[in-house]
Amino acid sequence: MYRRALLQSFISGASTFLLLMNAAAVLAAAIVDFMHRKIPNAHVAVMAVCGVLYVLLHNFDQAFMHVLSAVYVSAVVIILFLRKVLGGGDAKMLAALALWFTPQQLPLIAVATLIFGGILGSLYLSVVVLTLAGDKYLPNLDLPKIHPKAGMPYGVATAFGFAYAAWRIIL
């Protein structure tokens, strides 16, 4: 009886730790992507390791399905990367976060990420248009510069999409 309680306590503590580590990695990746349009491999590795360990602690019998999700998402994002729809960091981040979900749960994270991507895209486009208009019509005003070719930081949308899906499914 004591061992069972100790094991449950360990699993609970480890789960909390993994969720917090993953949240920190996702947040850090979103911030770095926003600032530099890059997602560091170390952040993606933390997301993947946390996902695998969390699944092994909670859904060991479903581990194959979680890996299948990551393989499926990897195939899709590789195609999107090759067509220059997504950056490499965004593709890696999506594949790593797919480990947290089964194939049946993927539509939720996909739809949530696309919705947040649309919101982010609208804001980003608005800022680019305002920056270009400001440069043309208010050249003496020192506005922050956003280059239209810099690309949108989709890691931010991915972070929000994952957070929403995790809140609905995992937590």
With helix as H, strand as E and coil as C, how does 81-134 read?
HHCCCCCHHHHHHHHHHHCCCCCCCHHHHHHHHHHHHHHHHHHHHHHHHHHHHH
Q: Which two tokens stand for residue 105?
A: 């749960």
For the whole model, what pTM was predicted?
A: 0.89
What are the residue ranges spanned by the domains of the chain? 2-169
Rg of the chain over all Cα atoms, to the nearest angstrom: 19
pLDDT in tens, the chain (171 residues): 788 888 888 888 999 999 999 999 999 999 999 999 999 999 999 999 999 999 999 989 999 999 999 999 999 999 999 999 999 999 999 999 999 999 999 999 999 999 999 999 999 888 888 877 877 787 777 766 676 677 889 999 999 999 999 999 987
In 3-state terms, what secondary structure has residue 129? helix
Q: Given this model, what pLDDT does residue 143 score?
A: 64
b/e 78-94 (16+ beta carbons within 10 angstroms → b): eeebeeeebbebbbbbb
Which residue type is seen at 146?
I
Q: Given this model, what pLDDT does residue 94 score?
A: 97
For residues 127 and 13, what is the distance between their CA atoms, to the nearest angstrom? 43
Asked whether 44 and 96 are in contact (CB, 8 A), the reply is yes
Q: Given this model, what pLDDT does residue 144 score?
A: 66
- List the end-to-end C-alpha distance of the chain, in Å, as a whole number: 27
CA dihedral for 99, 105, 111, 112, sign (positive or negative): negative
For residues 119 and 104, what is the distance between their CA atoms, to the nearest angstrom? 25
